[in-house]
């Protein structure tokens, strides 16, 4: 089974390059399941039901989120009733939405997707390690193919989650920091790992925001609106080949698709 996992989608530029490039890539690479982090898809902060529906129409099967999941109230009805947009599972059990889902791939195989949020340098939240134990146990009753989006600030916390879940899930994939890392690997017990998938959106920027806006804020220390940048669009992510019987990852490869690529 070929699974594509896409890094944080930033604003309209991120959505537009997915509209242009995602389906051709899925067809060319024979991708059977696609996961993307969409928590920055609406003007750089949050996601709406309209935008989520748009992204799903491009070939994405499950949208994960993170600490900006509640920034746009328009997503709440979809969170309450749908299964294609996740919020971090270690939010309060009283929070709207679901933290994990099982959906079939194009091959008919069930795929589990778990969304977790880190705690280091982040707002207070329940322990993602403890929460993952119960969810993995539940999903494993139906499938061994399980993907985890670990949305976290600290590289160390993401790496720790990779080792913690090695052999229990197919992949642990870091998001949030918007910079692709070069540490993709298969861990000893068969779990694919990368510290950060990177960013889908404008790369002539500071993490997707206009350079002059960010520099003004840093230099003057004055409140400044961080507008989404518009140039050098790219899709960052990884393609993972998984054994659908064992759930073990067989390979992981970093993906970068530029707006000028054919």
Annotated binding site for Fe cation: 8, 39-40, 67, 151, 176, 178
DSSP assignments along 138-193, one per residue: HHHTT-S-EEEEEE-S-HHHHHHHHHHHBTTBSEEEEESS-S--S--EE-TTS-EE
Beta bridge partners of 175: 151
Residue 63, CA atoms < 13 Å, CB-side half-sphere: 31
Binding residue numbers: 8, 39-40, 67, 151, 176, 178
Going from the C-alpha of 115 to that of each of 16, 149, 157, 172, the distances in angstroms are 24, 5, 15, 10
- Which of the 8 DSSP states describes residue 48? -
Do the Cβ atoms of 112 and 76 come closer than 8 Å?
no
In angstroms, the CA 30 to CA 23 distance is 10
Do the Cβ atoms of 184 and 253 come closer than 8 Å?
yes
Asked if 68 is an active-site residue, the reply is yes
In angstroms, the CA 41 to CA 51 distance is 7
The candidate with the shortest Cα–Cα distance to 101, out of 127, 122, 79, 118, is 79
Alpha-helical segments (H) within the chain: 11-28, 49-57, 76-81, 128-140, 155-165, 211-220
- List 15, 21, 32, 68, catalytic entry: 68
Query: Which residues does the annotation mark as catalytic?
Result: 68
């Amino acid at each position: 089974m070929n699974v594509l996992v896409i890094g944080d989608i930033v604003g309209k530029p991120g959505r537009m390059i997915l509209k242009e490039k995602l389906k051709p890539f899925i067809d060319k690479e024979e991708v059977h399941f696609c996961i993307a982090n969409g928590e920055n898809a609406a003007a750089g902060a949050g996601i709406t039901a309209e935008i989520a529906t748009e992204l799903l129409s491009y070939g994405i099967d499950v949208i994960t989120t993170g600490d900006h999941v509640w920034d746009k109230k328009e997503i709440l009805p979809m969170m309450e009733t749908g299964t294609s947009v996740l919020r971090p599972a270690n939010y309060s059990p009283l929070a709207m939405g679901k933290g994990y889902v099982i959906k079939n791939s194009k091959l008919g195989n069930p795929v589990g997707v778990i969304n977790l949020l880190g705690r280091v340098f982040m707002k207070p939240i329940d322990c993602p390690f403890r929460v993952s134990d119960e969810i993995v146990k539940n999903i494993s009753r139906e499938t061994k193919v399980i993907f985890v989006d670990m949305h976290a600030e600290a590289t160390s916390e993401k790496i720790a989650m990779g080792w913690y879940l090695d052999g229990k899930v197919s992949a642990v994939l870091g998001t949030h920091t918007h910079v692709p890392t070069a540490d993709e690997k298969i861990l000893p017990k068969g779990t694919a790992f990368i510290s950060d998938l990177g960013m889908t959106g404008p790369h002539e920027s500071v993490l997707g925001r206009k350079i002059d806006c960010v520099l003004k804020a840093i230099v003057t220390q004055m409140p400044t609106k961080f507008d989404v940048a518009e140039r050098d669009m790219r899709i960052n992510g990884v393609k993972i080949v998984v054994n659908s019987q064992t759930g073990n990852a067989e390979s992981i490869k970093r993906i970068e698709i530029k707006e000028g690529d054919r």
